[in-house]
Structure 1
Amino acid sequence: METYFLHHPDIEVENSDPKTIALGFFDGVHRGHQAVIKEAKRIADEHGEKTAVLTFDPHPSVVLGKTRKQIHYLTPLHEKLEKLEQLGVDIVYVVRFTAAFANLSPEAFVEDYLVALGAKHVVAGFDYSYGKKGAGKMQDLAGYAKGRFDVTTINKQEAFAAKISSTKIRSAIESGDLDTADELLGYPYKIKGTVIHGDKRGRTLGFPTANMKIEDDYLIPKLGIYAVKFIIGGKSYAGMASIGYNVTFKTDQEMSIEVFILDFDREIYGEEAEIEWYHFFRPEMKFSGMEGLIEQLKQDEANTRAYFAK
């Protein structure tokens, strides 16, 4: 897959061959996004063209918001690019979302990007907007195209009697409802990181854990205990993950993400790994002593084994 990073107004690219372009920010590349991209690929294949995606980075709210804010993504850019490639996308244009780009008129966006990049067909969701303050709507796009490219609008994609959206998925993850989030995404929610040294207290409890340093701006689920899959070296292992502050032992510790990997005994410090999140069991709890904590961890392990045995 070819990836071009564009910074307005310097948008010259070598590849302006005819292509079908899918439009969207695509955070999460969820089932709604997949419908847009798959239709773009179907059209491109039908016409012997390449499938392209035009997306942005960072999230528009970083630039347009009145207050400075940090965005936590369902799929940071590198992860988004991986998922787009898995869907068969040939070319991705990543436009740096700046104030100058945000101030483009809808007409200028069409001319400077869609026409300039060789669009022969453009596909986007029914609620996609473009140009300054989102003034351009999908129903207007064919008029701006002036016959130079065709337009396909993807209708609202629904699940649980509501629109599938990144906002809904984000809310589900933040509330610990990973079952719903995974259903809307169409795959298990995943974060990546590096295994680092922790305080090794898990070993004394009989539950040694892989302590994870998450470097990207992933959205982290709420505090608590989860059933997860731990992926390392291309292999997947069932595990139970803890997101919390080890409140039984400390009150001033930073939040940690630790995974007790079932039936696993290997030194993996410094290695990159992934965590797939499946199911929330319980919130973080403070125990009066180690015995109560150990008993609860045994129950958590039993619950995790039962979950994956289903």
Structure 2
Amino acid sequence: MKVFRNFKDYTSQKPLALSLGMFDGVHLGHKSIIDELIKVGSENSLETGVLTFWPHPRFVFNPNENLKLLNTIDEKKFLMEKYNIGNLFLKEFDEEFRNLTGEEFVRQILVGQLHVKYLIIGYDHSFGKNKSGNFELLQKLSKELDFEVEQMEAINIHENNISSTKIRNAILAGHIQEANEMLGYPYSVSGTVVHGKKIGRTIGYPTANIETESIKLLPKKGAYIVEVTVRGQQYRGMLSIGTNPTVNGEKLTVEVYILDFEGDIYDEEITVKFRAFLHDEIKFEGIEKLVERLDEDKRLTGEFDF
């Protein structure tokens, strides 16, 4: 997969089948668009591409909003490549770009620079200044500018439309398995292992403190069953998000106890895939009660069917 941050760098002998949008999470709804894109590209000998924005436009329109994303930029690249997209366009949502009308965007960018021959959009997608671009505009312009346009239907699970917002809400509520079902893969968080207070090792549960990217959405405070990737190997783990109230902690931390693992992994990057919610954050009466709960969480983690 080729990645472009400037449209002018893109050249191809073949026209392009393209979809555009934020694709935050690259969930099953997005996957249906990508699958259709690849099918159209194969049947018509077209390049395939996805045009998305970085940073998220909401950071531009609402700079004070505390928006957290389902994907970091590296995670989004990984998923797009995994799903066999040929070209990924990462457009900065700057002042010049945000002031393009929907029609200007189609004429100047999609047709003028990217030579789009087939365009696929989601069921609720709009674009351009004041959301002036939509499926109706694309249908109108497609005849004049000689491209085809297709609008995908929403993908449903349990009679509910899948959306990035619904997945965020599920994760924030601790409904991990529901979120994973909509994503089509386990929600994950990666980060560098940093030094913590090292209290865990004194009670038989040494944890790795993970420093995550600030834009990445974290599930609600509590304990989780996770799958941990360390140095390319997978392990079971029990992860805590919280402030460690039993020992009067104040700073929010992400800590994981890795079952059947020993070793120094400070300054290394690890990935945790969330599999199930265990319980909310608890302030125990003392260390003994904390250890009892950790023992029970370890038993549940060991017996969990991955």
For residues 22 and 4 of structure 2, the distance between their equivalents in structure 1, rounded to whole angstroms, comes to: 15
Out of 214, 236, 245, the position equivalent to 2:243 is: 245
For residues 298 and 257 of structure 1, the distance between their equivalents in structure 2, rounded to whole angstroms, comes to: 19
Out of 182, 185, 194, the position equivalent to 1:184 is: 182
Paired amino acid for 1:301: K
Residue-by-residue CA offset, 1:141-192 (whole Å, 9 max, x unaligned) = 1211225211111101111211100000000000100010000000000111
Listed as ranges, the matches of 1:89-108 within 5 Å are 89-108=85-104
1:224 and 1:242 in contact (8 A); partners too: yes
Report whether the alignment pairs 1:81 with 2:77.
yes
SS at match of 1:130: coil
1:196 and 1:210 in contact (8 A); partners too: yes
Report whether the alignment pairs 1:12 with 2:8.
yes
Report whether the alignment pairs 1:55 with 2:52.
yes
Q: In structure 2, what is the equivalent of residue 144 of structure 1?
A: 141
Report whether the alignment pairs 1:131 with 2:128.
yes
Paired amino acid for 1:120: K
Q: In structure 1, what is the equivalent of residue 203 of structure 2?
A: 205
- Misfit runs of 4+, over 3 Å: none
Listed as ranges, the matches of 1:244-263 within 5 Å are 244-251=242-249, 253-263=250-260
Q: 1:216 to 1:234 in 2, by over 3 A?
A: farther
Residue-by-residue CA offset, 1:225-273 (whole Å, 9 max, x unaligned) = 000001111111111000011111124x311111111111122111111
Paired amino acid for 1:274: T
For residues 196 and 181 of structure 1, the distance between their equivalents in structure 2, rounded to whole angstroms, comes to: 28
SS at match of 2:305: helix
Residue-by-residue CA offset, 1:187-234 (whole Å, 9 max, x unaligned) = 000111011111111111111111111135210000000000011111
Report whether the alignment pairs 1:289 with 2:293.
no
Report whether the alignment pairs 1:118 with 2:90.
no
For residues 136 and 77 of structure 2, the distance between their equivalents in structure 1, rounded to whole angstroms, comes to: 28
For residues 47 and 176 of structure 2, the distance between their equivalents in structure 1, rounded to whole angstroms, comes to: 35
Out of 22, 28, 42, the position equivalent to 1:25 is: 22
1:222 and 1:243 in contact (8 A); partners too: yes
1:102 and 1:133 in contact (8 A); partners too: no
Paired amino acid for 1:84: M
Please tell me the root mean square deviation across aligned C-alpha atoms, in Å.
1.4
2:239 and 2:255 in contact (8 A); partners too: yes
For residues 13 and 121 of structure 1, the distance between their equivalents in structure 2, rounded to whole angstroms, comes to: 20
SS at match of 1:143: helix
1:247 and 1:286 in contact (8 A); partners too: yes
Out of 141, 154, 157, the position equivalent to 1:156 is: 154
For residues 120 and 169 of structure 2, the distance between their equivalents in structure 1, rounded to whole angstroms, comes to: 27
Q: In structure 2, what is the equivalent of residue 265 of structure 1?
A: 262
Q: Give the TM-score taking structure 1 as reference length.
A: 0.94
Paired amino acid for 1:154: M
Offset at residue 81 of structure 1 (A): 1.1
2:54 and 2:91 in contact (8 A); partners too: yes
Q: 1:215 to 1:126 in 2, by over 3 A?
A: closer
Report whether the alignment pairs 1:2 with 2:9.
no
1:238 and 1:308 in contact (8 A); partners too: no
SS at match of 1:308: coil
> Unaligned stretches of 5+ in structure 1?
none
For residues 113 and 86 of structure 1, the distance between their equivalents in structure 2, rounded to whole angstroms, comes to: 26
Offset at residue 99 of structure 1 (A): 3.0
Offset at residue 47 of structure 1 (A): 1.5
SS at match of 2:245: coil
For residues 302 and 168 of structure 2, the distance between their equivalents in structure 1, rounded to whole angstroms, comes to: 27
For residues 80 and 196 of structure 1, the distance between their equivalents in structure 2, rounded to whole angstroms, comes to: 25
SS at match of 2:209: strand
Q: Give the TM-score taking structure 2 as reference length.
A: 0.95
